[in-house]
Structure 1
Amino acid sequence: MSSHGVSTLEPGEVSHDGGPHTHEGREVFLILSGSGVAHVDGTASPFAAGDVLVVEAGQDHHLEAVERVVTAWVHL
């Protein structure tokens, strides 16, 4: 079974900023609009609209918005 949704982050907002955030399965993000920085297991990588981010099972992750970010996401 998978879960999915659409999320919005305002500039300067961070998803899951309460500590480590992991899943038992893969999570895929489609960046619908905006830009920011993906933090995955301590590595920071920029992203922008049109990018697809894949976070492997067990990886600690969160997104940080530079511009207003809208993502569609699914847990596999």
Structure 2
Amino acid sequence: MKTYRLQQLADVTEGHILKDIMPGDYLTYGGLAFERPGARAHTNDGPGGIDYHVHEDCEAFLILQGKGEVEINKAHNYPVKTGDVVIIEPGEDHHLISSLEDPIVVVWCHAGATRNKNQID
């Protein structure tokens, strides 16, 4: 896991805003999530309902509002807050935990070598 602040991102006019901190020429998929107070994302997502969530590529979380923690490999919890950018490395089991008092709003995304299928004719 790597962490940054939004103001550390490069001022880019080509490519995507995360190109200097995660591999991939294009943002390939992602979304906006409004997490419930105290929610732990990806709980029991693994095969057969096991509590395991990993990717073969990097995933970025941009914390737009709120605070919470990122749990990595069930061993470490790292605090996050509005303005943080978190890069999850390939193979890291990860779970975003939203605070009870100030729930997280997050943009999550992956990058890759080709554009999203909706951007290709």
- Which has a greater percent of strand? 1
Q: Distance in 1 between matches of 2:42 and 2:68?
A: 14
Query: Who is 2:32 aligned against?
Result: 6
> More helix per residue: 1 or 2?
2
The CA distance in 1 between the partners of 2:87 and 2:109, in whole Å, is 10
Letter paired with 2:103:
R
The CA deviation at 1:14 is 0.8
Q: Which runs of 5+ in 1 are unaligned?
A: none
| Aligned length in residues | 76
Unpaired runs of at least 5, structure 2: 1-25, 45-50, 112-121
Q: Moved runs in structure 1, 4+ residues, more than 2 A? A: none
- Shift, 1:45, TM fit: 0.4
Q: By how many angstroms is 1:23 displaced? A: 0.5
The one of the two structures with greater contact order (alpha-carbon pairs below 8 A, sep at least 6) is 1
- Residue 3 of structure 1: how far off its partner (Å): 1.2
Superposed CA RMSD: 1.1
Report matched runs for 1:52-63 at 5 Å: 52-63=85-96
Corresponding position: 1:45 with 2:78: yes
Identity between Structure 1 and Structure 2 (%)? 36
Q: TM-score, normalised by structure 1?
A: 0.93
